[in-house]
Amino acid sequence: MRARLPEFQSIVQVYAVIAVMFAGWTIIAFLWKLSGWLLLLNLGEIFIVFAYAMVTNFIESLTILTMLLAGCVVLPASSLRDDFVVRGTILSIGLIGSLMVFVGSQMQFGVERGFLLLIAPLLVLLGMAWVLQRASQFQGVRSLVIGFSDRVVIFLLILAPVFLVTSAYVIFRNVS
């Protein structure tokens, strides 16, 4: 089983991409709403919302990572595991990006144009599939993806402790 999983360093790099994308969205949403909350919530209460938001990010990012790792276990090694950093990063960006476009379209157009809301995320997914297919042929794409995932690892030095501390805090609030 363990042999079917990618190397730890590769997992960390891909996880960093996932976590940064989720946290980036959440932090922008948080800042978007902060001015409204300042009217009615005190700083402690705003921190509680932030803590829950970070725990949600933690769960979201682990969910996507688990899906990718499950893919490594189930699929032939050459399709994902052997080139996990590149393919995992492209898949993460494609999947999370399509969710961003999906939700962003609703924010732009509402839910009434249901069919249109699906087009943009589908295009993102098709683009991801195309890049995924071509990634092995274009060294430039590979370098870009590897460079990106390598650089965002530094954000894990912030996000990982934040995820752990806020998880402990949220568990404490709900158990005590």
The contact set with another protein (CB under 8 A) reads: 22, 25-26, 28-30, 32-33, 36-42, 45, 48-49, 52-53, 56-57, 60, 63, 96, 99-100, 102-103, 106-111, 114, 117-118, 173-176
Closest CB 168 distance from another protein, rounded Å: 15
What are phi and psi for residue 80, nearest 5 degrees? -145, -50
CB of 134 to another protein, least distance (A): 26
Q: Whole-angstrom Cα distance, residue 60 to residue 111?
A: 23
Between 103 and 153, whose beta carbon lies closer to another protein?
Answer: 103
> Roughly how many angstroms between the first and final C-alpha of the chain, as a whole number?
38
Contact 96, 81 (CB under 8 A): no
Nearer to another protein, 64 or 135 (CB): 64
Compare residues 108 and 136 and give the one whose CB is closer to another protein: 108
Tokens of 46: 């705003």
